[in-house]
Structure 1
């Protein structure tokens, strides 16, 4: 074999093949799907040329160019800053525990399975989906979600009944499993939450992941059992409980992948008088439908996507809605909504709450409210994880984590998927999963720990210099970062059409908040997307029909 794994960290062969219009072949699909490494592709090409059984239907000129292309890349290996990431020795299969069967956990299981690992997925719910597994029953829960840090939480999804995607379905799918429209289901481009849940179920079935998953199993404890070479040969003890059972199951794993998401632990503001306010207060985590708020005066705290969605839904039932925002300089789209509805009012932040129901804002104005709904986001929490201080959470900064994924002193045996926010999630989760899986299989290696720590500190300094608060450490919102991350594992860069469709949707929502999910003007971008390999090369007949 030609040892050129490292080359994928600098350039991807996919870009070359696309330029030469060599996409209509099985080997290219295998390459994109991660089932064929670049050195194997070069090898197969050269062997087939010698035997006159060419895998690709292209000319001698193309073969010569491609061979020279690969040779030039090989020459770059010694100067490649990421050359340490590829190694030739494969590790024996490892026992890996993935915690969570949401989008990040499912793609982690898929990639680990590809690499031949022995995978067990522990999921506390009765089905896959994570946040996308809607649960309408919120009775008996602390309305502020304060019991979520203990053992009393039974509702983990923050999905409300009317929730629709804020991004078009075209950009949401994993790279080799398009989020297609299916007969008899929600065909909208911005479908409801159930459609994404069904997509994840389809993904699970298509790749045979269900057999790895233990449902209704809550992880109680994850800790280091054996330090080994500390970070290389660690052993982990994982303790779990099956629903309605008191028995604690203890198991030992070689590696643990934490894929529990970050939308289950409500973050609450600190407001004077909050504890003494006697009327109803709740976090949006437990909001499901608008009917309970009929004829009420409601204060919605937080001008986030969920805050705007809930406020717009309440205008049809509530007497008054007061949307409290840190800034009164709001988008054109929100301004249109406020001017359209007489019972929707924009307010500044809250100064204090009074026991009799009064809500006083920082500008001195006030109202008497029936309910306050806090749409103030979520905090990271891993109550089951005991790393003896190697990992901590400080003002919503989880760290230290190299590239938001690996704790330097415990990597690669402990990793996290899905920590970053404000990016196109599914493809990014997929690149994280590939990196983790290839590290555990021995295909790749990480930099020395001191280099990883240095990189983390430089990242922190860059965020501070940019004036980004610590609690926004993991808010990325950067296409270039996603591409850079993909380079670590030879993962294709985000397609331009994904970026363009994402930006188009953001611009449209900024101007037309109430209608952007149903009225849009991006047909040309959509056509480009549907002509891309994501929807052509990777679309089987089986994916076009119900599974």
Structure 2
């Protein structure tokens, strides 16, 4: 969607754009934000792309992902809270492109099967299949942009005895809601955002206990009673799980929050990116252009602090390379550029360092295109304040509000504290309901949001 919007932006200024075809496996666009209740495979036998689940709310402030050229103010016409649910964010990203004519470029329900590069003609042959009809065809293109993301193919580790586990067992990719975890003892294997969020969702929905298992370091939040962190799992024995510190616990449900793999089954190995999930994958010049092929581009291949606006910065850069407005340096110079950024990446010591690194990376991209520059340092400060808020209270940080970096508008308080809000629909979110009995009982003071003052010293 970012790439289509980038080409449309150029067209609006009178620049000639090439013929564009976007192959989209799903029946609608939105990527991860296009929620699907199915798990495993879809109705056509294709692997389900989305990892979204019911009652998922943004786990980072919307002010850190806001588009520079399409604000939340413009879309909703009023302030909204800093942590919207998934349906609201989908409405936002969909609204930007629905105001254009870029949908004409998309062939939905069409999956890429194979891509070959012909060095003699400097073109790609792309074979696709319409999953509704089964029809296949091959077309030739001058450039290919891989915009599939890398959070849809789960990494599933092996643990001794896991086949004997008698409760429910799934990867976070197949998690669709925490309602069935009520009154259960739940184990989350992992110590990153999926584990954190599914864990607090389980707590919110009434799990009896929530345990996190970490490999290298605990998340270290001030967990409420009923939530704890333990080191890595060593083995399963029926419904009992053993940990490296000698602890053992009984569980009813296990969710593997063990990350995702870069997986591009439609590309040869010399074209497919192979990388761990990090903020600067090797082999991509400026994080976008595939090494060894100046006609192949990747969007969103990095681990992400910034999201929507980073995808924009990358899409605008890829567009200008394709249009010839940015001339790529020699292969040797591109390699030297990557090495310099990789050397800097290797020195990062903290999450705050990674946030600043990614801000500088985005700034470097935007400075070369006409994408509107925004205050990246302010976004960094919001990220650091957000991290501080979570350390202060992992269950209430979503009730905080921040000002828009783009417009200065202060976010509105959601009408219901996140821990009490069980309806994530767009209609409920944008409504102004009367306080319920719980809210009347606790009073306005307990339900009042906290405006976050963002300080450069936050860490």
Question: TM over 0.5: same fold?
Answer: yes
What range describes the TM-score normalised by the shorter chain of this pair?
0.7 to 0.9
Partner in structure 1 of residue 172 of structure 2: 284
User: CA offsets per residue over residues 174-204 of structure 1, 9 Å max, x none?
Assistant: 2211123766999332111111111122111
Structure 2 residue 212 is matched with structure 1 residue 319: no
Whether 1:508 aligns to 2:389 is yes
1:500/1:272 CA distance change after superposition, 3 Å: same
Closer, same or farther: CA 392–125 of 1 in aligned 2, 3 Å: closer
Contact persistence 2:189–2:195 (CA under 8 A): yes
Structure 1 Cα separation of the partners of residues 277 and 360 of structure 2: 23
* 1:483 shift after superposition: 1.3
Q: Distance between the aligned counterparts of 1:264 and 1:199, measured in 2?
A: 22
| Candidates 127, 136, 144, aligned match of 2:37 | 136
Residue-by-residue CA offset, 1:128-155 (whole Å, 9 max, x unaligned): 11100111233xx28xxxxx9xx95442
Please state how far the C-alpha of 1:435 moved relative to its aligned partner: 1.5
Larger radius of gyration: 1
Q: Would the alpha carbon gap of residues 270 and 108 (structure 1) be closer, same or farther in structure 2, given more than 3 Å must change?
A: farther
Show the counterpart of 1:367. 249
Match of 1:126 in 2: 27
TM-superposed CA distance for 1:124, in Å, is: 0.9
In the superposition, relative to structure 1, how do residues 325 and 264 fare at CA in structure 2: closer, same or farther (>3 Å)? same
Distance of 2:303 and 2:346 partners within structure 1: 18
Are the equivalent residues in 1 in contact too, given 2:71–2:406 (CA < 8 A)? no
CA deviations over 1:17-46 (Å, ceiling 9, x no partner): xxxxxxxxxxxxxxxxxxxxxxxxxxxxxx
Residue 400 of structure 1, CA deviation: 1.7
Residue 110 in structure 1 maps to residue 5 in structure 2: no
In the other structure, the counterpart of 2:64 is 171
- For 2:83, the equivalent position in structure 1 comes to 190
Residue 530 (structure 1) aligns with: 407
- The structural deviation recorded for 1:240 is 1.0
Q: Give the structure-1-normalised TM-score.
A: 0.66
Paired residues for 1:45-444 under 5 Å? 103-110=1-8, 115=15, 116-138=17-39, 141=40, 152-180=45-73, 187-224=80-117, 226-228=118-120, 234-275=122-163, 277=165, 279-315=167-203, 316-326=205-215, 330-331=219-220, 334-335=221-222, 338-339=223-224, 341=225, 343-354=226-237, 356-386=238-268, 389-396=270-277, 399-411=282-294, 413-444=295-326
Q: Deviations over 1:252-281 (max 9, x none)?
A: 111111111111011233433335545432
Cα deviation for residue 359 of structure 1 reads 0.7
Change (3 A) 1:364 1:389: same
Evaluate the alpha carbon distance shift between residue 378 and residue 494 of structure 1 in structure 2; reply closer, same or farther with a 3 A threshold.
farther
- In structure 1, what is the Cα distance between the partners aligned to 2:67 and 2:404? 19
Distance 1:184 1:157, change over 3 A: farther
Q: Label 1:264 to 1:518 Cα distance change in 2 as closer, same or farther (>3 A).
A: same
Matched residue count: 398
1:433 Cα deviation after fit: 1.3
Give secondary structure in 2 for the equivalent of 1:454: helix
Return the alpha-carbon distance in structure 2 between the equivalents of residues 370 and 294 of structure 1. 10
Deviation at 1:476, TM superposition (A): 8.0
Could you tell me whether the CA contact under 8 Å between 1:239 and 1:250 is conserved in 2?
yes
**CA distance in 2 between partners of 1:436 and 1:181 (Å):** 26
Asked whether the equivalents of residues 169 and 255 of structure 2 are also in contact (C-alpha less than 8 Å), the reply is yes
- Change in Cα spacing, 1:476 to 1:134, as seen in structure 2 (3 Å) is farther
The answer (yes or no) to whether the contact 2:211–2:228 under 8 Å persists in 1 is yes
What is the distance in 2 between the residues matched to 1:379 and 1:451? Answer: 29
Q: TM-score scaled by structure 2?
A: 0.78
How far, CA to CA, are the matches of 1:503 and 1:497 in structure 2? 10
1:455 aligns with 2:337: yes
RMSD (CA atoms): 3.0
Superposition deviation, residue 300 in structure 1: 0.8
Q: How has the CA–CA distance of structure 1 residues 269 and 476 changed in structure 2, closer, same or farther, with 3 Å as cutoff?
A: farther
CA distance in 2, matches of 1:377, 1:185: 36
Q: In the alignment, is the contact (CA less than 8 A) between 1:267 and 1:379 conserved in 2?
A: yes
Unaligned runs of 5+ in 1: 1-102, 143-147, 469-473, 533-547
Q: Distance in 1 between matches of 2:368 and 2:104?
A: 30
Select between 431-440 and 459-468 the one with higher mean Cα deviation: 459-468
2:365 matches 1:488: no
> 1:359-404 CA distances to partner (integer Å, 9 max, x unpaired)?
1001001112222101122121111112x62444154575522122
Distance (whole Å) between structure 1 residues aligned to residue 115 and residue 174 of structure 2: 28
Residue in structure 2 matched with residue 30 of structure 1 by the alignment: none
